[in-house]
């Protein structure tokens, strides 16, 4: 999983590609690099770590009009300069950047005797495979790609050539042209303010891009026509960082995201009667997603069962993918994904679509691969999310799914939701809580129903950015095993926002206290139990509390990570968009 970017024709190609890579850094930041043509020869600059390290190695005013760049999230081979892309062929004629995984690279390596590689990457096999093919450069690229199993989006350059070659399968790639040149890359953000339209490549399409021209081909090398997508109205605006950290900026944006979502779904009527009636015809809903999006799916399923009495199922995409599940035409398959590019989620969407099922996606990135596959699209309006840990995207998914469910159930809660989005404001997290909490080595989040889902999400946040080994669980499950772990070194964070389940939560808290565990209660309700710490939540209608309760827990994770000296925006070993299996 990586980000790629290329420029041809523009005199300031190096600058454009490095700027593009910065926008793609959410796809990985283990290492980065560029390859560019100078005096007809290929030159490489690579660095380990974030793009800023690469920038330090690039001399001022380095000019080239043929440039490719890459930001890496390591899959094959450790994080090192050797394994950083671009990779160059043995004959030094070609350089390549690649996003994806060549699954049969070992086999290809043996078959074509590609030995003595410089790196441990599957990509270096691919670039040498390309060099070994017959014919012109496009034929070589097509020949190699046709032998590859797996996923790839690649940009290839050749010495003494003023062209860039592109190919893709199962990894995103798009290209745009203006009077001054072409750019290509992994997502639309790299085109911001430079291009009016772009072309989104389909699987097994190939491109020759030069300063003045784009030619498209299919996998047989035949020329094809493509229709451009107008991006002049695309919203590239919300990337400015006013806070020191994107994660804090994004947490603070949540009240605005809620207002925007309400406005889009009620004033602009994004979910019209026709779509609602189509959705209403499905007897069953099966949500499929990963990570945080899996949690918002769990919440969506709770809403759907409660208000529409529709049978719901929720699956983790990587599990669904190989489970050979029984599919049904009465069921709508709902894929929730912030990026719309998560490999496991996309693979499942393709799988059910190929079997003739209907697919809906709930996604935050317009024109994403998932949107492309889906029959129905429910956009979320969180705006660009940069921090690796998802915050505003989660809240926007939960709110969007709630709106969908209420509309499907024909429950007119417009006033209630409006009052909420107008009144809900940022939560003031009391940092004094951090020190006592930080004394605990074991942390469990517990809750029931919607609060159980919040517990799962809160625990994921704390794990991924503060590296705390914690766990979210259903309160009622404690006594079935986990209670054995509770002692005076344990903190249990109990989430309680459902009046009818209050007494059950209190019993669970007593069970913890009886074993010496300490308790932090996060609630808007009046509870009849003594606890060690409390976070009081503002009170809104119960159906809105999943949004209200998760935000202080996002802030808890953020502040905890800072206190330990970690960068919450870029947690170790992770990337924003997981475009590999
Ligand atoms: C956690 C997080 C991840 C993503 C997951 C799915 O904070 O961000 O767990 O939720 O990788 O990503 P999307 O929603 O882009 O499919």
Q: Does the pLDDT of residue 335 top 60, yes or no?
A: yes
- Does any ligand 1 atom lie closer than 6 A to the CB of residue 318? no
Ligand 1 centroid – CA 150 distance (Å):
22
Query: How much is the average pLDDT of 336-358?
Result: 96
Model confidence at 269, in pLDDT bands (50, 70, 90)?
confident
Residue closest to 443 by CA, chosen among 503, 498, 495, 496? 495
Q: Is 497 in the pocket of ligand 1 (CB under 6 A)?
A: no
Using a 6 Å cutoff on CB, does residue 189 contact ligand 1? no
pLDDT at position 188 is 85
Interval between CA 291 and ligand 1 midpoint (Å): 5
Q: Is the C-beta atom of 459 inside 6 A of ligand 1?
A: no
For residues 494-513, give the mean pLDDT. Answer: 96
Check if 187 has its Cβ closer than 6 Å to any atom of ligand 1.
no
Binned at pLDDT 50, 70 and 90, residue 342 comes out as very high
**Confidence class of residue 241 from pLDDT cuts 50, 70 and 90?**
low
Mutate which of 73, 292, 300, 343 to test ligand 1's pocket (most atoms within 8 Å of Cβ)? 292
Question: Which residue CA neighbors atom 5 of ligand 1 most closely?
Answer: 291
What number does the ligand 1 atom closest to the CA of 389 have? 7
What's the whole-number average pLDDT of the chain?
93
In the reported structure, the alpha carbon of residue 362 is separated from the centroid of ligand 1 by a whole-number distance in angstroms of 13
- Residues involved in catalysis: 2, 576
Among candidates 169, 163, 222, 185, which has minimal Cα distance to 9?
163
Region 408-428: mean pLDDT is: 90
Kindly give the distance from the C-alpha atom of residue 339 to the centroid of ligand 1, in angstroms, as a whole number. 8
pLDDT band at 526 (very low <50, low <70, confident <90, very high): very high
35 to each of 43, 157, 224, 305, 485, how far by Cα in Å? 5, 8, 28, 53, 53
pLDDT at residue 195, rounded to an integer: 94
Tokens of 377: 């699209």
Indicate which atom in ligand 1 lies nearest the CA of residue 345: 16
Give the model's pLDDT for residue 433: 86
Question: Above 80 in pLDDT, residue 238?
Answer: no
Q: Choose among 388, 409, 385: nearest CA to 397.
A: 385
Q: Is the CB of 291 under 6 A from ligand 1?
A: yes
In the block, which residue shows the tokens 């495979």?
A: 129
Round to whole Å and give the CA distance between 2 and 126: 16
From 288, 568, 578, 580, give the residue whose CB has the most ligand 1 atoms within 8 Å, as the site to mutate.
Answer: 578
pTM, full prediction: 0.79
Residue 344 in contact with ligand 1 by CB distance below 6 A = no
Pocket test for ligand 1, best of 251, 293, 386 (most atoms within 8 A of CB): 293
Strands annotated E in 380-484: 442-447, 470-474
Predicted confidence band at 312 (pLDDT cuts at 50, 70, 90)? very high
Q: Above 90 in pLDDT, residue 69?
A: yes
CB-based contact 338:390 (threshold 8 Å): yes
Taking the C-alpha atoms of residue 579 and residue 173, their distance in angstroms, rounded to an integer, is 12
Each residue's pLDDT tens digit, 358-408: 999 999 998 889 999 999 999 999 998 989 999 999 999 999 999 999 999
> Does 328 sit behind a cis peptide bond, omega within 30 degrees of 0 on the bond before it?
no
Please determine, for residue 473, whether its predicted confidence score (pLDDT) is greater than 90.
Answer: yes
- How many angstroms separate the alpha carbon of residue 398 from the centre of ligand 1? 14
What is the Cα–Cα distance from 515 to 490, expressed in whole angstroms? 10
Instruction: Convert the pLDDT of each residue in 105-124 to its tens digit.
Output: 999 999 999 988 899 899 99
Residue 154 has pLDDT above 80, yes or no: yes
> Which range is least confidently modeled, 25-29, 172-176, 208-212?
25-29
Q: Is 5 in the pocket of ligand 1 (CB under 6 A)?
A: no
Q: What would the two tokens of residue 527 be?
A: 């509870």
Residue-wise pLDDT for 158-180, tens only, equals: 999 999 999 999 888 999 999 99
Give me the helices (H) in 231-329, please.
Answer: 246-252, 254-262, 273-280, 291-303, 317-320
Residue 158 backbone phi and psi in degrees, to 5: -130, 145
- Which one, of 511, 493, 502, lies nearest residue 549 by Cα? 493
Q: Is the CB of 297 under 6 A from ligand 1?
A: no
Q: What is the mean pLDDT of residues 490-494?
A: 96
Q: What are the angstrom distances between the C-alpha of 22 and each of 17, 19, 171, 578?
A: 9, 5, 19, 17
Main-chain phi, psi angles of 133, to 5 degrees: -80, 160
Dihedral angle of Cα 300, 306, 309, 313, to the nearest 10 degrees = 40
Taking residues 74-89, report their average pLDDT: 88
Helix axes 291-303, 392-408, angle to 10 degrees: 20
- The pLDDT of residue 198 is 93
Which pLDDT band, with edges at 50, 70 and 90, does 155 fall under?
Answer: very high
Atom of ligand 1 nearest to the CA of 342: 16
Pairing of strands 358-363, 518-523: unpaired
Cα(134) to ligand 1 centroid in Å equals 42
Q: How far is the CA of 287 from the centre of ligand 1 (A)?
A: 15
Q: Please tell me if the CB atom of residue 293 comes closer than 6 angstroms to any atom of ligand 1.
A: yes
Is residue 338 lining ligand 1, measured as CB closer than 6 Å? Answer: yes
Helices (H), 174-285: 246-252, 254-262, 273-280
- Write the residue with the smallest CA distance to atom 3 of ligand 1: 291
Tell me, what's the pLDDT at 576?
A: 74
295 pLDDT more than 90: yes
Return the minimum-mean-pLDDT range out of 70-79, 142-151, 526-535: 70-79
Percentage of the chain with pLDDT > 70?
98
CA of 137 to the centre of ligand 1 (A): 38
What is the C-alpha separation between 28 and 57, in angstroms, rounded? 19
In the prediction, which pLDDT does 76 show?
A: 74
A 10 A CB-CB count for 132 gives 17
Q: What are phi and psi of 149, to 5 degrees?
A: -110, 140
- Shortest-distance atom of ligand 1 to CA 289: 16
Counting atoms of ligand 1 from 1, which one is nearest the CA of 339? 15
Q: Which domains are assigned to the chain? A: 3-234 (3.60.20.10), 238-423 (3.40.50.10490), 431-563 (3.40.50.10490)
Ligand 1 centroid–CA 389 distance in Å is: 7
343 or 236, which is more confident? Answer: 343
Among the listed residues 461, 494, 457, 496, the one whose alpha carbon sits nearest the alpha carbon of residue 478? 494
């Amino acid at each position: 999983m990586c980000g790629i970017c290329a420029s041809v024709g523009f005199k300031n190609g190096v600058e454009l590609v490095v700027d593009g890579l910065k926008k793609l850094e959410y796809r990985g930041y283990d290492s980065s690099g560029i390859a560019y043509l100078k005096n007809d020869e290929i030159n490489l600059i690579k660095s380990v770590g974030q793009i800023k390290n690469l920038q330090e190695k690039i001399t001022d005013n380095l000019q080239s009009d043929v440039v490719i760049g890459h930001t890496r999230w390591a899959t094959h081979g450790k994080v090192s300069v050797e394994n950083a892309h671009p990779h160059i062929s043995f004959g030094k004629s070609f350089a390549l950047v690649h996003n994806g995984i060549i699954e049969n690279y070992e086999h290809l390596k043996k078959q074509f005797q590609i030995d003595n590689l410089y790196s441990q990457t599957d990509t270096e096999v691919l670039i040498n495979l390309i060099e070994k093919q017959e014919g012109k450069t496009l034929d070589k690229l097509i020949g190699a790609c046709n032998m590859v199993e797996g996923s790839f989006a690649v940009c290839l350059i050749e010495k003494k050539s003023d062209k860039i070659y592109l190919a893709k399968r199962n990894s995103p790639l798009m290209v745009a042209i203006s009077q001054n040149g072409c750019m290509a890359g992994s997502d639309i953000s790299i085109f911001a303010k430079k291009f009016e339209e772009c072309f989104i490549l389909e699987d097994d399409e190939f491109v020759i891009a030069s300063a003045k021209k784009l030619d498209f081909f299919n996998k047989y090398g035949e020329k094809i026509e493509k229709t451009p997508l107008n991006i002049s109205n695309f919203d590239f605006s919300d990337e400015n960082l006013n806070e020191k950290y994107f994660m804090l900026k994004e947490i603070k944006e949540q009240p605005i995201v809620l207002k925007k979502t309400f406005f889009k779904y009620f004033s602009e009527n994004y979910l019209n009667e026709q779509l609602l009636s189509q959705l209403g015809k499905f007897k069953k809903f099966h949500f499929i997603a990963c990570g945080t999006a899996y949690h918002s799916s769990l919440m969506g399923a709770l809403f759907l069962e409660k208000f529409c009495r529709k049978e719901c199922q929720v699956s983790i995409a990587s599990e669904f993918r190989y489970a050979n599940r029984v599919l049904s035409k009465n069921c709508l398959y709902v894929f929730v994904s912030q990026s719309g590019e998560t490999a496991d989620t996309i693979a499942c969407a393709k799988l059910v679509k190929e079997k003739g099922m209907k697919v809906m996606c709930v996604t935050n990135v317009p024109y994403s691969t998932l949107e492309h596959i889906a029959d129905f699209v429910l956009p979320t309006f969180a705006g660009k999310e940069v921090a690796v840990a998802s915050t505003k995207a989660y809240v926007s998914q939960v709110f969007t799914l709630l709106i969908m469910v209420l509309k499907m159930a024909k429950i007119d809660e417009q006033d209630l939701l409006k009052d909420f989005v107008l009144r809900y404001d940022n939560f003031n997290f009391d940092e004094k809580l951090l020190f006592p909490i930080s004394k605990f080595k074991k942390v469990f989040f517990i809750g029931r129903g919607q609060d159980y889902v919040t517990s799962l999400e809160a625990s994921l946040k704390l794990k991924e950015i503060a590296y705390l080994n914690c766990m979210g669980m259903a309160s009622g499950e404690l006594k079935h095993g986990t209670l054995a772990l509770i002692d005076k070194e344990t903190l249990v964070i109990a989430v309680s926002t459902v009046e009818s389940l209050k007494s059950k939560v209190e019993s669970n808290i007593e069970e913890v206290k009886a074993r010496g565990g300490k308790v932090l209660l996060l609630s808007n309700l009046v509870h009849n139990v003594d606890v060690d710490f409390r976070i009081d939540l503002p009170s809104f209608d119960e159906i809105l509390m999943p949004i209200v309760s998760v935000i202080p827990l996002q802030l808890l994770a953020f502040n905890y990570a800072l206190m330990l000296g970690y960068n919450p925006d870029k947690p170790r070993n992770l990337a924003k968009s997981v475009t590999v299996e």
